Structure 1
Amino acid sequence: MVHLAVPYKPLMRFLYLPCLLLLFVFATTTANAQCSGSFGDPILYEDFGSGTGLGPPLPAGVTDYNFTGVPCPNDGDYSIVNYIGDCHGNSWHNIRDASNKPNGYFMLVNAKQLAGQVFYTYTADASNFCANTDYEFSAMIVNVMRTSACVNGGTRPNLTLTIETATGDNLGSISTLDIPPDGLWKKYNVCFTTTNVTSNIIVKIVNNVAGGCGNDLALDDITFSARGPVITTDYDIPGTGGNINLCEGSTGQSYTITADVAAGYRNFQWQRLNNGAWEDIIGETNSSYTTPSTTGLAAGVYQYRVAVVKDGNIGSLTCRTFSTPNTITINPKPVLIAPADQSVCTGSTLQLTATGGNTYVWRRPNMPASPPGSGSISINPATNADDGIYEVYAISDKGCISDTKQFRVTVIPPVTATVSQSTDVCAGQSASLEATGGLYYQWFPAAGLSQTDIANPVATPSQTTTYTVRVSNDACFEEKTVTVNVLQYPLAIAPEKKVIFEGQSVVLNATTRGDNIVETSWSPATFLDDPLLLTPVATPPYDMTYTLTVRSASCGESVSSVSVRVYRKVTVPNTFTPNGDGFNDVWNINQLYTYAESITTVFNRSGQQVFHSEGYNNPWNGTLNGQQLPAGTYYYTIDLKNGTKP
């Protein structure tokens, strides 16, 4: 990017005036001669700008080379880049811009096969120049080729920097000679002096050798500016080196800066930097200048410089050259963040931390101030002697001291906490908890508690829970635990109904649930092998109902019953004689009457039903409809209606 840095008067890159104003009669040519002295704000400063990716092309007429939008140009082309990477098989050095600007651009050129081509040119209006004034035209140039890239090292760039009038008169030039392939930026310049006003000025950078393998280069920081004598300035305080560092709020004073220049330079103008721009200080035109008092100045950097010119040119801004700025830096006081008032428990660690400075000075109660040191101090263990007012101030890396801040540390006796004993409750019941020894109480977990921030909450947990209470008195705390064991109520679970035949036995396989079961018993105990067993063996001769009682140590008892159905043994005779002799006159089936739901049916040999009875309270007498049936063989079915056979 071109910077036309003539103060107060912006210029265009090319400006041609119809009238001729200056005549330049001096020219000098030396190989890379460094022009000494001071320099003015540049008439031209081309640094090509900065950015990511590739930069934009130069305006038309600035170069004889073709712009290409690739990072590695070919013969006859140039690019605006911020870095040379792996170009042409890594035959070029990896290079960034000459002044190390972040993402700074520079002009990368792959020279043409023909010599005499212009790499860069610029025309300066004659009004920018003063008579009897020295000027410098310079550029940073680097050979980008690696030595190994070409046979015999290849062609080295060789350029000429020229200064000429618009009519073609040469005012000065310099040859760079062969630029070594070391990949390092070097400054090349040419100087000249004006006499009378006559013409615009053109500066050029021209290729001296043909292309081929090599002759690839980069340009950056192309500058055209006035050149003056060496200007030495210093404060009236020895040893400052042109820079004074003060602290905000320190005792203010003024400082005198004196300029020392070569003979013939008797015109001075002092300037100060204001919001990034230099401005003349009205009336300050002597070789020394006394600054305003620093009293009350805000933190910041205050800069001053002096402009010098030869006789009669001080009013022309482009003729001035400037001293290196002298600086007064008002360094800010540290913004100290001190510890807040706090409490600490006796015997624990007191940790204090301050921020905002480079080092810190601490003062503890009844103790001298510490030497400057860390922003953190640790006191372990804290005792009653550490109770009181503390002070701290910060010191910046520039030696500036913050305001002193105070804070209080209160050392508190430790907590001696107690808590009620663990207890048992039956499910759904509550237990009162109690802690002592502090000002504040915090219980956790909260499940089942009536309140978590009191000394004596009521606990009704759904399951066994261990509660922790934190007992505190601001800084100190102690934790205790108490367990509420939730006991489940006893539950007796008798088996389903049991069915046996007379003379058989059955196990009453009961189960229980609950906590702290201490006793199980069956009643009645009749026909049981052991009524105190949970699973006794029962052998009842008739129907019985047994009841199981289960008792826990703390949560009562539970009962459950089971019925045992005892079926009588049925004996079916296969003959009877219904002849009225009073003996065996009916079909008497032993114990069938006990089966009230049973069904008995008799058939003759033809399959005809001759008898049917539900239950068997009235045995069959061998008749059908009141008529005696003949003797013979009859068939029967007996359904006891209980899933068993008679």
Structure 2
Amino acid sequence: MLSFIYTNAQVCEGSLGDPVVNIDFGRGGGRGPRPDIITSYNYVPFGSVNGEGDFTIAQSTTGLNGGWYDIFNHTPNDFGGYMMIVNAAPDPGVFYESSNPIDLCPNTTYEFAAWIVNLLRGNGIQPNVTFTVVDADEKTLGMFSTGDMPNGNPTWKQYGFQFRTTGAGRVKIRMTNNAPGGGGNDLALDDITFRACGPKITSSINNTTLTTRNLCERTTETFNFSAGVTGSSTLKYQWQINEGTDWIDIPGQTNPSMNYTFNNAIPGVYQFRLAVAEPTNFNSPLCRTVSPTLTINVNRYPIPKAISNRPCLGSDLILDVADATGTYKWFDPQGREISDQKSPVIKAATFAMIGKYSVTVTSGGCSASSEVDVSVVPPPDAKVESATVEVCEGSAVELKASGGTIYTWIPATGLSAANISNPMASPLQTTTYTVRVSNGSCEVFLQVKVLV
């Protein structure tokens, strides 16, 4: 299984914004299209990637080169996603440069990050890449080198660093292969991002350390969301909500603290965060950084259904809950708690156990109860007329059982019928017959010995 490691130089220690650039090379079937980049490398649309200076866009490295690990793209939960796969050229040099300028907010600090994995299975030249961000005048705004990436370790690693834009805000990415080609120096690249870096922000619900709270449907409650911001005194603020699709500004909530009321709450997951930026850049979402997310889960009440078997006297009483998961509390007819299991078993049922049992199920902080009437069935008053009878060889004798509504005799050999109360028995040798006497719910077993 692949693991992920974060490696960095001067990464953002404050708050980050949403990715304003996210290069994940797309998704689809087969090979992906050639990316719109400046490179002297040769794009391979199909087949192996064995040539020095070849690259391709694919979901995995399987079948591309016999000396590589089988690696899948990095993007989480994107099984059809692509990555850029590179067999580095013999000479060091630039292998990736954005062909079009990337527009960022002017005079803003950003974090650049990218994920890379060394593909080489054995020994060979170790990849070594330098990331450079330049402005429109080719001025270097930030630079970071990975150093030699160890072979034999198919682990995606994220490399990142900070840079600050100039007044224009336009930048380009440049990636340079520092190692010579030849045996090795093969890598995959994915998920290149730019995110605004701002002041350190902490956030809380109701002035506690909790970042998630539960609320039951159809209830009304007010929560206080607050954020502590360490930074400029001129910052502007905006609280946002996400109900599952996108972040939306909450009108009028422009202070570090806000009260938000759920009226007759509707089930769902509600996320809140505070967006922060300087006044000159605030109207552009690309320039904002955000607080850690606060979550309110509005949960449905469980709808439990308590059920029970109909035990015979002396057998096990089995309780159960249908249609509900969570935690459980069972109570007997006297209101005493008897179990926290979903399906408790009470041994040796007695008539004293007859009555109404209840269970309370709690899920996501929301509780509901259900009851079931438990009855204990008495066994049949089963009898046989005689436990031992005699019969002459070749003759028949009547066996008699009573007290039930259903009878089953075993074995059936030598009997005129096996499912009546009084079969005629004519065994060839001495035989012990067992009769099952049932009242439809409970049963008793008795024996009759026929001596021949």
TM-score class, shorter: 0.7 to 0.9
User: 1:260 matched to which residue of 2?
Assistant: 228
Q: Which ranges of structure 2 fall in alignment gaps of 5 or more residues?
A: 1-7
For residue 330 of structure 1, report the CA deviation from its aligned partner.
Answer: 2.9
Percent pairwise identity: 32
What is the alpha-carbon distance in structure 1 between the residues aligned to residue 261 and residue 21 of structure 2?
Answer: 34
How far the C-alpha of 1:304 sits from its partner, in A, is 0.8
Aligned to 1:239: 209
**Is structure 2 residue 130 aligned with structure 1 residue 159?**
yes
Indicate whether 1:149 and 2:115 are aligned: no
Superposition pairs of residues 443-592 of structure 1, within 5 angstroms = 443=408, 470-480=436-446
2: CA distance between counterparts of 1:67 and 1:366?
Answer: 77
Q: 1:390: which partner in 2?
A: 357
Contact 1:71 1:81 in 2 (8 A): no
Higher relative contact order (CA 8 A, sep 6+): 2
Q: 1:448 to 1:322 in 2, by over 3 A?
A: farther
Distance 1:482 1:298, change over 3 A: farther
User: Is the 8 Å Cα contact of residues 22 and 193 (structure 2) preserved in structure 1?
Assistant: yes
In structure 1, the partner of 2:3 is none
| The one of 278, 294, 297 aligned to 1:326 | 294
Change (3 A) 1:393 1:76: same
Counterpart check, 1:221 vs 2:191? yes
The one-letter amino acid of 1:78's match is F
Query: Match for residue 275 of structure 2?
Result: 307
Normalised TM-score (structure 1): 0.57
CA distance in 1, matches of 2:60, 2:162: 28
Structure 2 residue 372 is the aligned partner of structure 1 residue 404? no
Gaps of 5+ in 1: 1-30, 486-515, 517-646
Structure 1 residues 71 and 448, CA, compared in 2 at 3 Å: closer, same or farther? farther
CA RMSD after TM alignment: 4.1
Q: Which residue does the alignment assign to 1:134?
A: 109
Among 349, 352, 376, the alignment partner of 2:316 is 349
Distance 1:425 1:180 in 2: 97
Q: Is the 8 A contact 2:243 2:269 kept in 1?
A: no
Correspondence 1:108 to 2:85:
yes
Q: Which residue in the other structure is 2:244 paired with?
A: 275
CA deviations on 1:503-557 (whole Å, 9 max, x unpaired) are: xxxxxxxxxxxxx9xxxxxxxxxxxxxxxxxxxxxxxxxxxxxxxxxxxxxxxxx
* Correspondence for 1:415 among 376, 380, 400: 380
Aligned residue for 2:93, secondary structure, equals: coil
2:242 and 2:272 in contact (8 A); partners too:
yes
The one-letter amino acid paired with 2:368 is D
**Match for 2:189: what amino acid?**
L
Deviation, structure 1 residue 161: 2.4
Q: TM-score, normalised by structure 2?
A: 0.78
Q: Where in structure 2 are the equivalents of 1:619-634 lying within 5 Å?
A: none
**How does 1:83-102 map onto structure 2 within 5 Å?**
83=60, 90=67, 92=68, 95-98=71-74, 100-101=76-77
Name which of 135, 141, 144 aligns with 1:172. Answer: 141
Classify the secondary structure of the residue corresponding to 2:367. coil
Cα distance in 1 for residues equivalent to 2:215 and 2:223: 15
CA distances 1:536-590 after superposition (whole Å, capped 9, x unpaired): xxxxxxxxxxxxxxxxxxxxxxxxxxxxxxxxxxxxxxxxxxxxxxxxxxxxxxx
3-state SS of paired residue (2:100): strand
Distance (Å, rounded) in 2 between the aligned partners of 1:101 and 1:62: 29
- Give distance in 1, aligned partners of 2:296 and 2:199: 24
Q: Which secondary structure state, in structure 1, belongs to the residue aligned with residue 373 of structure 2?
A: strand
After superposition, the Cα gap between the structure-2 partners of 1:380 and 1:237, relative to the gap in structure 1 and judged at 3 Å, is same
1:376-419 deviation line (CA, Å, top 9, x unaligned): 333222222222221222344x5x35322221222233223235
Give the corresponding residue for 1:193.
165
Contact 2:135 2:166 in 1 (8 A): no
How far apart in 2 are the matches of 1:123 and 1:468?
92
Change (3 A) 1:71 1:416: farther
Structure (1 or 2) with the greater strand fraction = 2
CA contact (8 A) 2:74 2:191 kept: yes
Give the residue type in structure 2 aligned to 1:235.
I
- In the alignment, the residues of structure 2 paired with residue 298 and residue 306 of structure 1 have an alpha-carbon distance, to the nearest angstrom, of 23
Q: Which residue does 2:406 correspond to in 1? A: 441
Structure 2 residue 219 is matched with structure 1 residue 248:
no
